[in-house]
Amino acid sequence: MDPDTDKVAPLRQFDDAVKMTPLRRWAIGVIALGEFVDGYDLMVIAGALILLKPQMLLSASQVGLLGASAFLGAAIGLLIFGSLTDRIGRRTVFTFNLVFFVLFSLLSAAISNVTELFIIRIFIGVAIGADIATSMAFLTEISPRLKRGSLSGALPQMAWTFGALSSLLVALLLYNTIGSQAWRWMFGLSAVPALVVLVGRRLLPESPRWLIKQGRTEEAMAALELLGVGRGIQTQLDAGSHHLNQGSYPDLFRKPYTRQAILAFVIVGFTPFMGATASVVGPYVFQYVGAFGLAGSLQAGTITWIGGLIGALVAYLTIDRIGRMTSVIISCWGSFLVSVALALGAVQYPPLFLVLFVCLAALTWFGASSFWLLPSELLPTHLRGRAQGFGNGLARLMVAVATFVIPVGIAHLGFSATITLLGSVGLVIGLYATTGFKFEPRARSLEEASIDRTV
């Protein structure tokens, strides 16, 4: 038997599985559900800001900083825990980071001033960043090859957008029943889904791919068996295991990964500029640019996220057919065109203004199903957590920058100039993505797509 074939046989069998075991389906579902928590808590600030602004007399800069705070924390958490998950494992991090998330979510409901909220939102962001780095790596490593785009790219995006949508629905419901103090309940309730996900994740094994990298073949075999591969591959797994507990952030940019790493990081890192206007600060824009009123802004923001959910659903149905690069190009160029349309006076026609925002959200979250996935697919197992840490850390930092820039830009440059500048990023990234088709990971094994030569 060809030694190389023998080495990859267990993972090939795992990747090519047509029918998944109940635990494997549960693992994919409960990991993706973590993105619901992420989406709810990162977007809950969008609804809370329009309540907090008059109560705490927030300036445009303070609105921007509060909106950006959790994203800044997420960037920190992604960088720290992206490295840590490659060293100590996926399960260890993604199980226990939610404990800290629950704690700080409850604390955020009891704040008394802007400084306290800013600090607590930073810590919540760190917990969210830790979860993204570990969960996205784990999800990519256990998804079947032919469905990897839909299950580890689009499915978590659907959960994320549903979480964001839920945050605005909760905001609207609480505002209508509680009034101006609804924001406290909005923050505190985010602890509930986090607890549910925390309990569900305790049933999961460690990632088999990560265990193989550590040379822990018995544990890898047990995990593979639980997730759907029989004991007949024991000898092959032993023959194919390698002990590798090395890696660093600079390794992401070393050969043979250099070009595909840069491609992944540019795409995931800078596309947040395109969609931040329709997501994080959407309700703020509806109220202070579109003059929708407070309740109307929450309603418009909710409708916008329905568009985002539709975009993620379309990606779920198409991403494994058309591929990642095509999805990126459609999203980027489409977002640019919609941004230009918004800049050309759509604000004077509220129904058109809302429809274009819905289109922008749909295009953004259609593309995000590919954006988030690329670092996991194009970098190997021993660097996958770091790839998510760097790529999504950069993305969160850029969301923070955009969240701060948008209200300030609207105040000083005007809405049309601000959204045109942000939308132009999509035009440039779409052009760059046309050079990346040779790295297209669709239907390829993770080891092939990431040039992983040690499994």
Domain assignments of the chain as residue spans, ordered by start: 3-449
The residue-averaged pLDDT of 336-362 equals: 88
Produce one character per residue of 247-257: b if its CB has 16 or more CB atoms within 10 Å, e if not: beeebbeeeeb
Beta-carbon neighbour count of residue 427 at 10 Å? 16
Instruction: Using the predicted structure, report yes or no on whether residue 432 has a pLDDT greater than 80.
Output: yes
pLDDT of residue 314: 97
Where is mean pLDDT largest: 78-92, 185-199, 253-267? Answer: 253-267
The domain over range 3-449 is classified in CATH as 3.20.20.150: no
- Listed range (76-85, 397-406, 432-441) with the worst mean pLDDT: 397-406
pLDDT of residue 240: 43
Beta-carbon neighbour count of residue 318 at 10 Å? 18
The residue-averaged pLDDT of 125-147 equals: 90
SS3 string of the chain?
CCHHHHHHHHHHHHHCCCCCCHHHHHHHHHHHHHHHHHHHHHHHHHHHHHHHHHHCCCCHHHHHHHHHHHHHHHHHHHHHHHHHHHHHCHHHHHHHHHHHHHHHHHHHCCCCCHHHHHHHHHHHHHHHHHHHHHHHHHHHHHCCHHHHHHHHHHHHHHHHHHHHHHHHHHHHHHHHHCCCCHHHHHHHCCHHHHHHHHHHHCCCCCCHHHHHHECCHHHHHHHHHHHCCCHHHHHHHHHHCCECCCCCHHHHHCCCCHHHHHHHHHHHHHCHHHHHHHCCCHHHHHHHCCCCCHHHHHHHHHHHHHHHHHHHHHHHHHHHHHCHHHHHHHHHHHHHHHHHHHHCCHHHCHHHHHHHHHHHHHHHHHHHHHHCCHHHHHCCHHHHHHHHHHHHHHHHHHHHHHHHHHHHHHHHCCHHHHHHHHHHHHHHHHHHHCCCHHHCCCCCCHHHHCCCCCC
pLDDT of residue 233: 44
% of the chain exceeding 90 in pLDDT: 31
pLDDT digits (tens, 9 = 90+) for 141-193: 999 989 999 999 999 999 988 888 888 788 878 888 887 778 888 888 888 88
pLDDT of residue 453: 59
Distance CA 296, CA 288 (A): 11
- Top pLDDT among 276 and 119 is at 119
Instruction: Using the predicted structure, report yes or no on whether residue 436 has a pLDDT greater than 90.
Output: yes
Beta-carbon neighbour count of residue 16 at 10 Å? 11
Instruction: Using the predicted structure, report yes or no on whether residue 245 has a pLDDT greater than 80.
Output: no
- Which pLDDT band holds residue 374 (cuts at 50, 70, 90)? very high
Instruction: Using the predicted structure, report yes or no on whether residue 283 has a pLDDT greater than 80.
Output: no
The label of the residue with tokens 């994203």 reads 71
Instruction: Using the predicted structure, report yes or no on whether residue 284 has a pLDDT greater than 90.
Output: no
Instruction: Using the predicted structure, report yes or no on whether residue 294 has a pLDDT greater than 80.
Output: no
pLDDT of residue 326: 97
pLDDT of residue 71: 82
Distance CA 323, CA 311 (A): 15
Distance CA 8, CA 455 (A): 6
Instruction: Using the predicted structure, report yes or no on whether residue 235 has a pLDDT greater than 60.
Output: no
Name the average pLDDT for the chain: 84
- Which pLDDT band holds residue 221 (cuts at 50, 70, 90)? confident
pLDDT digits (tens, 9 = 90+) for 306-320: 898 999 999 999 999
CA neighbor of 130 nearest in space, from 169, 76, 177, 188? 76
- Top pLDDT among 102 and 313 is at 313
